[in-house]
Structure formats: structure tokens, C-alpha cells
Homo-oligomer: A and B are copies of this chain.
Amino acid sequence: MQVRAKTTRRFLLEAAAQLFDERGYAGTSISDISARSGRTSGSIYFHYASKEKLALAIVEEHFANWPEMISRHQAAEVPALERLVALSFTVARAYRDDVVVRAGARLWMERKAIDADLPTPFVGWIGAVTGLLEEARAEGALAAGVVTGTAAHGIVCAFFGMHTVSDALDGRRRIEEHLRQLWLLLLVALQAEPDPAGLLARVLGGTGAGAVLPAQISERG
């Protein structure tokens, strides 16, 4: 029974996430979620109490993704800057492909319309990026003038702005390309011996996507 309740909760969460992602918070009603999921409104209220609570659960689930993703990029014997870049691609793909992440991001953007205390974003990311930059410094890979906290703040701004721009221009379809462009700029400022294209090739080579040269990006952009 508990397992079944958990499965139902998850099922409802994903049906609601699809709708919130497509139509936003105000554009989605409990009866829409009922129609999409094939469950009664009563069942939805039983599991989540209110639309606010359901939205809050999705935003919390969105936030819950990151610590595990960050720690997966901490253990490796790979240089810290490469891990930072790899992490950014993992997160960008989650934003493109995971409906709960996308819905969580949209609900967070619409937070002023939602009557629930949503978690504060960005602070954790700025901390995680600062940590990776400190590691890069210890490895001698960070440019001398970089103040890690300041740089981490700028990287987080740039990364989340890239999501907004990519969403506006092409519905996030070309998000990996936008992200590569961003790192071509930022790595020049970050690396002790700047070689953005080389670092990107090392990080992305293993995915089978192949290395991307600045010329190609500029041509397609």
C-alpha cells in the first residue's frame, strides 16, 4: 500500500509537471491534472492537499537533483575546470530533457504567483562553483587574477541567463551549442593557460558528440 501510494504520488507529480511546464502555474488547474493523469481530483487532493503544495513538491524535487549531480562530478580524477564544464553540460541536458526540472524552473520563475515558500536558488550553485574553482586554484589551473567567489557568481549568472536566452531563441533545442559558446568566452578568463577549445574537446569528446571548434559555432550561431 505504501509502495502503491508512492507510485501514485510520483505519477501525479509527473503529470502535473508536464502541464506546469506547458501552461505555467496559473494556466493549470487540478481538473487539468485530473484529465491528464486519469485520476480523480479527490485523489490529487488526497496526495497533495492543494495546487500550491503540488507546485512546491515539484520545485523541491527540481532542487533535490543538484546535490547528487554535483557530487558525481566531485570524485573523479579529472581536473576541476573540466569537471565544472562537464557538470554544466549535465545540468543543461537535465533542463532540456527532464520535465520535472523544466517544470520546477518555470514554477520558480512564476514564484510570485504561488502562495508557498519556495527554496532560494543560486546560492548553492555559487557555493559549488566556488569550491570547484578553489580546487582548480590548488591544481595551478586557475588564472592568477581570478577571485573565486566573484567568478563563481559570474559563471552562475551566465549559465542561468543562457537557459533563458536559449529557451527564448529556440526552445532550448540548441542549448548545448549555446553552452559551448559561453565556455569559449569564460574559460579565457578562468584558465591559467587559456585553451577553451582544447578543454571543451576533452570534456565533450567522450560523449560521442565530437569536439566543436569555435569556427563551427560561429558559423552556425
A116 at the interface (CB under 8 A from B): no
Chain A, interface size category, equals 35 or more
Residue ID in chain B nearest A159 by CB atoms: B161
Given A158-B161, A169-B120, A150 contacting B218 (CB threshold 8 A): yes
Q: Which residues of B contact A26 (CB under 8 A)?
A: 24-27, 113
CB distance from A129 to the nearest CB of B (A): 12
A73 at the interface (CB under 8 A from B): no
Most buried by B among A110, A151, A178, A214: A110
Residue ID in chain B nearest A156 by CB atoms: B165
State which residues 176-194 of A face B: CB under 8 Å: 178, 181-182, 184-186, 188-189, 194
A208 at the interface (CB under 8 A from B): no
Given A157-B161, A161-B159, A185 contacting B221 (CB threshold 8 A): no
Indicate if the CB atoms of A181 and B214 lie closer than 8 Å. no
A123 at the interface (CB under 8 A from B): yes
Interface residues as binary, A104-127 with B (CB distance below 8 Å gives 1, 0 otherwise): 000001101100000011110000
A143 at the interface (CB under 8 A from B): yes
Indicate if the CB atoms of A181 and B221 lie closer than 8 Å. no
CB distance from A92 to the nearest CB of B (A): 12
State which residues 119-174 of A face B: CB under 8 Å: 120-123, 143, 145-147, 149-151, 153-165, 168-169
Q: Which residues of B contact A153 (CB under 8 A)?
A: 165, 178, 181-182, 221
Most buried by B among A123, A161, A188: A161
Q: Which residues of B contact A25 (CB under 8 A)?
A: 26
The 6 closest A-B pairs by CB, nearest first: A161-B161, A26-B26, A158-B158, A154-B185, A188-B189, A189-B189
Identify 16 residue pairs between A and B in the complex whose beta-carbon atoms are under 8 Å apart, listed by A's number: A23-B112, A27-B113, A109-B109, A121-B168, A150-B217, A153-B165, A153-B178, A153-B182, A153-B221, A154-B184, A156-B161, A158-B161, A160-B161, A161-B162, A188-B189, A189-B189
